[in-house]
């Protein structure tokens, strides 16, 4: 089974039929090219999910299901996840949220150095988990490190693999110059087809 995890890009937000047109389904269907049956897959992408949440749900799924491959889409680095007190549920902290806790976090705590460090921590933990479990994996990201400005790398960066990962923004280009590749703020059907093609080219 191939596991797909990520945020709204993986879920297929703003598509009329995300189960059919989002890149996880397109990648699974590409097995037909080689005369094989469509690959069995599971998409657990969720709108607003943070990299903390992607790490958590990926590990939970792999611990409870047979997974041979994982394709992980990292989201905006500034998002975080907080476990609700005395509950089994989690809260996504995003810059779009207007609750008191989120406003306080982005006003007084959030900074680029910590965001990048947290990304590499999540990446390092997934890399080592997948290697230990012999799960093939492919990473890509919607955040462009070159656009973050000035930041200092942490020890998590030094520990993680240095192999570059695919960047969705670079792949699709700017929305202004490539409007057909976007639907609102997310990839269009064409955009998802481009992502699927790139994954297939680099992973299978």
pLDDT in tens, 130-174: 999 999 999 999 998 877 778 888 999 999 999 989 999 999 999
Reported pTM? 0.94
CATH number at residue 119: 3.40.50.1110
Cα-flanking dihedrals φ and ψ of residue 102, to 5°? -65, -45
Quickly tell me which residue has 């989002």 as its tokens: 22
Percent of the chain residues past pLDDT 90, beyond the cut? 81
Long-range CB contact pairs, 120-125, < 8 A, 24+: 120/153, 120/154, 120/156, 120/157, 120/159, 120/160, 121/154, 121/156, 122/51, 122/52, 122/54, 122/55, 122/74, 123/74, 123/156, 123/160, 123/161, 124/156, 124/159, 124/160, 125/55
Return d(Cα 156, Cα 160) in angstroms, integer: 6
Ranges of the chain with pLDDT below 70: 31-36
- Residue 51 is part of which domain span? 2-203
Q: Into how many domains does the chain fold?
A: 1
């Amino acid at each position: 089974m191939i596991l797909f995890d990520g945020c709204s890009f993986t879920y297929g937000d703003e598509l009329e039929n995300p189960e059919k047109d989002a890149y996880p389904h397109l990648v699974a269907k590409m097995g037909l090219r080689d005369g094989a049956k469509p690959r069995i897959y599971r998409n657990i992408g969720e709108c607003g999910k943070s990299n903390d949440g992607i790490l958590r749900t990926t590990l939970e799924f792999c611990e409870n299901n047979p997974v041979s491959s994982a394709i992980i889409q990292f989201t905006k680095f500034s998002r975080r996840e907080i476990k609700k007190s005395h509950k089994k549920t989690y809260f996504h902290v995003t810059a779009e949220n207007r609750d008191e806790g989120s406003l306080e976090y982005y006003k007084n705590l959030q900074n680029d150095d910590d965001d990048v460090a947290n990304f590499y921590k999540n990446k390092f933990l997934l890399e080592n988990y997948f290697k230990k479990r012999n799960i093939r994996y492919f990473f890509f990201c919607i955040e462009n490190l070159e656009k973050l400005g000035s930041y200092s790398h942490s020890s998590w960066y030094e520990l993680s693999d240095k192999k570059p990962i695919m960047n969705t923004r670079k792949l699709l280009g700017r929305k202004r110059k490539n409007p057909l590749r976007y639907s609102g703020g997310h990839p269009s059907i064409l955009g998802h087809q481009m992502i699927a093609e790139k994954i297939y080219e680099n992973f299978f």
